[in-house]
Amino acid sequence: MTVGLNAIILVSGLLFAIGMLGVLLRKNTLVIYMSLELMLNAVNLALVAFSRYNGTMDGNLFVFFIITVAAAEVAVGLAIIVALYRKRQSVMVDNLNAMSR
Amino acid sequence: MTATQSLLFVLLAPLCSAAVIALFLRRFGKLASYVSVATAGLIFVAALNALHAAGGETIHDSWLWLSFGDFHVSMGVFLDDVSATMLLMVTFVGFLIHVFSLGYMADDSSPARYFGGLSIFMFSMLGIVLADNLIMIFVFWELVGFSSYMLIGHYMSKPAAAAAQKKAFIVNRIGDLGFVVGIAYAYWHLGTTDLEAMGNIIGADSSLISAGIAALLMCGFIGKSAQFPLHVWLPDAMAGPTPVSALIHAATMVAAGGYFLIRIVYLFPPEVLSIITWLGVFGAVYAGFCAYARKDIKQILAYSTLSQLGYIGAAFGLGYPGIALFHLITHAFFKALLFLGAGSVIRGCHHEQNIFKMGGLWKKMPITAFTFLIGILALCGVYGLSGYFSKDAILIAAGFENAPVSYLLTFGALLTAGYMGRLFWVVFLGKPNSEAASHAKESPITMVVPLIVLAVLSVVGGWLGYWPDVIGGSIRADKAELHHLAGYDAMHNKIVILGTLAWVIGLVASFFFYGRGAKEDRLEKMAAPVYGFLKNRLWFDEIYDFYVAKIQQRVAVAFSFIDNFIIKGVLVRGSAGVVAVVGMCSRSLHVGGIHTYVYWFLGGMILLWALGAGLIG
């Protein structure tokens, strides 16, 4: 059984929306971070789906780049969050508003 | 020593003296005064030595001072017949006034400042006398202005002195503006400012004479020599110590303007000369009238100085610079004598300066009174005294060149005799009119000796035949030129008769009108409106005050508005304001919550998308 393009794009859109809402609404930096990753993966899914639908490799190629960059970004981002926690004893965004004070 | 070395010594010794006094002797007034007086004596000897070494030759040496590309400024000494005459007069009269100051300033609170000032003045004045180019003259010209400023304000606790020193300095700036522009113009036009070189250039091609240059340089003369219309500073300058008035505001500095003209006489076309003549004639008569409504002995002498400076200007304008120099020299002798005599009187009367509170001083101060009388007679041009020879020559020259000038100047001589007679009869004859005058005593020897020497010079100073050969050549040349004019004898007789009549009438009339040792001014009592009119001096001070307060001030307010409102308010503050508003707006975007930034990010994305899709822009 093959799943149609529309269904995959719908899943991808849902994943992106969940990630977006997570970034906008959640207070924990780690959760926001995971939501960001979710949005990246939603985009990956869409790219792979289009690639398959069109029968070209362009989308797949992009996905590899995105996964690589995302891996590097996760390493840096998590390091920043750890450093932040050490300094502030908190990763809640409400407490991370030093620039407005 | 060679002549050049002597001249450099003459120039630099007073500077050294001033520096030593300023640096080391501020608290040692007595020592400072001796240093200054000794220097003044030494420079007179050195000046004699220089004249002897030069032996009548012209000395001209100059050294490069500044260089900007092709433009070179040099400093140098230029000793010719005219500067030799002036040099001898300035050093000798200067020395006598230094000696007089020893007595006059004996109980002053800050003699070091005073004598330091005198030394710096001598340096500046000798710089003008010896300078070989216009730029050097200008430098020293400003230095005499500075030393005049410093010495007028010697009694710095008196507000009148502080105001007078400022007035003298500021009024002189007006003339100096013309002077400095004139120097630039002369350099542009003639390619040099060297006195000798300019003379040669003009001599070779007289079409290079420019009325513009001459008129601009004349402005410097008008300011420094207190000619009409910049004469207002000189009477006020009498707020300084009396020897300063004698040295700077009678004998040397104010005469420097005339000397400067004589140095550059070849630059003057006839039109500018006639302006100078008429300014001089107006000044001579105008100041003569003003003197009648003054009660301060020094103010009367100040107006007399203005009047005599008018004669010097008129003589120059008539085309006889030698005779102008002659009157400058004889005037320096008798006017220095009169001012020093006035100083002696003022000191004798415990700093009383009102002539109607003096009286009867002939018996109390016989030497002062007698020398003062000689000074007055010389000033009035009594036959055989120095003033007679120079004033007579001016009147004869005027008689040939311009008859109205001659009559006006003779009338000026009548006025002179009248106000000087008033001064003499009221101060020295009759009975003392105040406590101070009744206790007056003859002054100490340091003050009396200069008076006697100057009195002798006021008598013999005009006997050209006895002058040394190395000085006065241009005076003799101009005199000889007059002698050779057709009808000289007739003119001479006429002038002698008119001149003698003028002083006899002036002295006799003032004797009978004012009376001996008068307590009050009879003119003021009998004809108050006339006296009031004269006292107001044609309202020049008021007109200048009005101009400054009502016109110049308004213009300044307008400019201040432009500066404050448009430049400062709109341009400077305005641009700062724009930046501040932008800053305030962008600061308000900066709330510190990560979620808000995400919304901004989202908004930015939408904006970019809208731009890319062509929905906006």
Residue B37 lies in a domain: no
Same domain for B418 and B549? no
Range of the domain at A45: 5-95
Give the nearest partner residue to A97 out of B592, B598, B599, using CB atoms.
B592
Predicted local distance difference test score (pLDDT) of residue B432: 84
Q: Do A24 and B594 touch (CB under 8 A)?
A: no
Residue A78 lies in a domain: yes
Range of the domain at B447: 284-300+322-527
Same domain for B512 and B547? no
Task: Answer whether residue B134 shows pLDDT above 60.
Answer: yes
At residue A91 the predicted structure's pLDDT band, cuts being 50, 70 and 90, is confident
Same domain for B515 and B427? yes
- In 3D space, the residue among B251, B257, B261, B248 whose CA is nearest the CA of residue B225 turns out to be B257
Task: Answer whether residue A39 shows pLDDT above 90.
Answer: yes
Task: Answer whether residue B76 shows pLDDT above 60.
Answer: yes
Residue B577 lies in a domain: yes
Query: Comparing B524 with A49, which gets the higher pLDDT?
Result: A49
Q: What would the mean pLDDT of B65-86 be, rounded to a whole number?
A: 88
Tell me how far apart the alpha carbons of residues A97 and B591 are, in angstroms, rounded to a whole number: 8
> In angstroms, how far apart are the furthest CA atoms of chain B?
115
Chain A residues with CB inside 8 Å of B593's CB? Answer: 93-94, 97, 100
Give the nearest partner residue to B593 out of A23, A32, A100, using CB atoms.
A100
Closest chain A C-alpha to B597 CA, distance in angstroms: 10
pLDDT tens for B585-607 read: 888 877 777 788 888 888 999 99
Residue A32 lies in a domain: yes
Same domain for B461 and B606? no
Q: What would the mean pLDDT of B75-95 be, rounded to a whole number?
A: 91
Tell me how far apart the alpha carbons of residues B490 and B587 are, in angstroms, rounded to a whole number: 99
Chains A, B: CB contacts within 8 A come to 21
pLDDT tens for B371-415 read: 999 999 999 888 888 989 999 899 999 988 888 999 999 999 999
Residue A101 lies in a domain: no
Query: Comparing B87 with B592, which gets the higher pLDDT?
Result: B87
Judging by beta carbons within 10 Å of its beta carbon (0-12, 13-18, 19+), is residue A93 exposed, middle or buried?
middle
Using the structure block, give the residue that is written with the tokens 């510190």. B592
Q: What would the mean pLDDT of B462-490 be, rounded to a whole number?
A: 85
The domain total for chain B is 2
How far apart, in Å, are the Cα atoms of B406 and each of B280, B314, B319, B489? 12, 10, 14, 16
Predicted local distance difference test score (pLDDT) of residue B140: 93
Task: Answer whether residue A90 shows pLDDT above 90.
Answer: no
pLDDT tens for B161-214 read: 999 999 999 999 989 999 999 999 999 988 888 888 888 988 888 888 888 999
Query: Comparing A100 with B596, which gets the higher pLDDT?
Result: B596
Same domain for B492 and B586? no
Residue A17 lies in a domain: yes
pLDDT tens for A41-67 read: 999 999 999 998 998 998 899 999 999
Interface predicted TM-score (ipTM) of this complex, two decimals: 0.79
pLDDT tens for B51-75 read: 888 887 888 888 998 888 888 889 9
pLDDT tens for B330-347 read: 999 999 999 999 999 988
Residue A100 lies in a domain: no
Asked which of B500, B527, B554 is the last residue of a domain, the reply is B527
CATH code of the domain covering residue A52: 1.10.287.3510
Same domain for B288 and B327? yes
Give the nearest partner residue to A23 out of B592, B593, B598, using CB atoms.
B598
Predicted local distance difference test score (pLDDT) of residue B338: 93
- Beta-carbon contacts of A6 under 8 Å, excluding residues fewer than 6 positions away, are none
Predicted local distance difference test score (pLDDT) of residue A99: 67
Same domain for B447 and B392? yes
